[in-house]
Each structure stands twice: as C-alpha cells, then as structure tokens.
Amino acid sequence: MKTVEVTVDALRERKDQLRTGQRVRLSGNLLVSHGDSLRLLESALAEVEGDRTLVLYHGSALVKGREGARKVSSLGPASCHRYESLLVRILNLFPVSMVIGQGAMGDAMSEACAARGCVYLQAVGNTGALNAGRTVAAELFAENGDADPVWQLEVSGLEAVVSIDSCGRNQFRRAKTRATRQLKALLKERF
C-alpha cells in the first residue's frame, strides 16, 4: 500500500481518510509520554487552552542538552496494551486526533477511536536512532518528580502504519483471530 504524507496541522481533515494497513509519514508536533508518565500528561493537558490538534506518541525519548539547544538521541514507541485503559481515558478527556504506539490495542481502544474520531498507528519499536534523525526540535512539555518528562517534539517524516482507523476497524483483531485459529490447529499436531 502506498505511503501517504500527513501533517499534524492537516490531520483533522485527513484522519477520516486513513484506513487500516495504510502507511503514514507524519510531520509536525507531537507529545511523547508513556507508562506512568501518562498521568503527568493528563494533568498537563488539563491546563492547555485552545483548540490545538493533539498527537500522542506513546513512547520515550532520550534528550540531551539544555533548553534552546536540545537534541534527541533516541526516540522509540513503547508497547501500549498494558496502558490501554489510561490511553482510552485520555482520548475521552481531550481532543486527541492520533495515537502512535507499539503493538496491539483491544476493543476498548477501537471503541474510543470510533467514538472520538481518533486513529491509532503502530510504529516499529526500537528504531530509536532512526527516529531521532526524523526529529527536528524538542522542548519540555511537563515534568514532575520521578516520572519520565513529557516532551513535545517536532518530527519530519516519522513512519507508522494505521492499526485502528477512525471507524474503529482494528487490524490487529483480524490478525489475532487468524493466529488463534492456526494455533488451535497446530496444537492438534504432534512433535
């Protein structure tokens, strides 16, 4: 399938055209947070005013340097399935247009995407240095205590694939059904 170029600024108009399995090259600003720091993101977003398009990257970034001269040395997604309920909660509270993460998401995320008009994209994990090269700028969005800080990054050409579209169609659900059927058949065979 052809890769489509999408900018965060045009995401609201474009997101409903994105279909599961489609590869996307994204440019624009996104917020990076994962695991327990999603709570920090939630409280920080509550203070953000205005009608901005939100893209959440569920992952982590290694950022070097001081304010004004920050450089990302590694950026990668983190497995989402353990944090599905937290991510769904954020989707229900804030106007998030896109979530980028790693791995599968379940029915709760599919339903939230359909209800909120959000898309979930899967990025390839552990490609930290590659994604760092696709990062233009970094600034601190929120920090508090021991939790990982939330970074706002400007990216150019970040690649990912649509896993759940804004109608709630979930690519993983189909793949999981296939794998479960195959597993049952294989367990009947013997070594």
Partner 1 sequence: MRRSYWEKNIFELIRRTSTSMPADVENAIRKTRRLEAAGSQAQWALDEMLAGIRAARESDTPLCPDTGALAFYFRVPVGFDTNALAAVVRAAVSRATRAGYLSQNTLDAISGARYPTNIGHELPAMYFDQGGRKNVDVRLVMKSAASENEGSQFSLPCRDLGVDSDLNGVRACALETVARAQRSGLGPGVLGICIGGDRSSGQAHARGQFLRKVGERSRVRLLSRLEDRILKDVRKLDIGPIGSGGKSALLGVNIDSLSRLPGSYFVTISYMGWAFRRRGAVMGPEGGVHRWLY
Name the site residues for partner 1 (rule: CB under 8 A).
1, 21, 23, 36, 59-62, 64, 73-79, 81-82, 102-104, 122, 124-133, 146, 159, 161, 163, 171-172, 175-176, 178-180, 182-183, 186-187, 189-191
Q: Min. distance of Cβ 13 from partner 1 in angstroms?
A: 25
For 85-92, which contacts have Cβ atoms below 8 Å and span 24 or more sequence positions?
86/38, 86/39, 86/42, 87/38, 87/56, 87/58, 88/112, 89/42, 90/38, 90/41, 90/42, 90/45, 90/56, 91/116, 91/118, 92/116
CB of 167: closest distance to partner 1 in angstroms?
A: 17
Q: Could you give the angle at which helices 37-45 and 84-93 cross, rounded to 10 degrees?
A: 0
Q: Is 103 exposed, middle or buried (0-12, 13-18, 19+ CB in 10 A)?
A: middle
Report the nearest approach of partner 1 to the CB of residue 76 (Å): 5
Q: How far is the CB of 176 from partner 1 (least distance, A)?
A: 6
**Other residues' Cβ atoms within 10 Å of the Cβ of residue 31:** 20
CB of residue 12 to partner 1, shortest distance in Å: 26
Q: Which residue has the tokens 């709570």?
A: 39
Q: Is 29 or 163 the residue whose CB approaches partner 1 more closely?
A: 163
Nearer to partner 1, 102 or 110 (CB): 102
Closest to partner 1 by CB, 56 vs 132, is: 132
Residue 12 or 144 with smaller CB distance to partner 1: 144
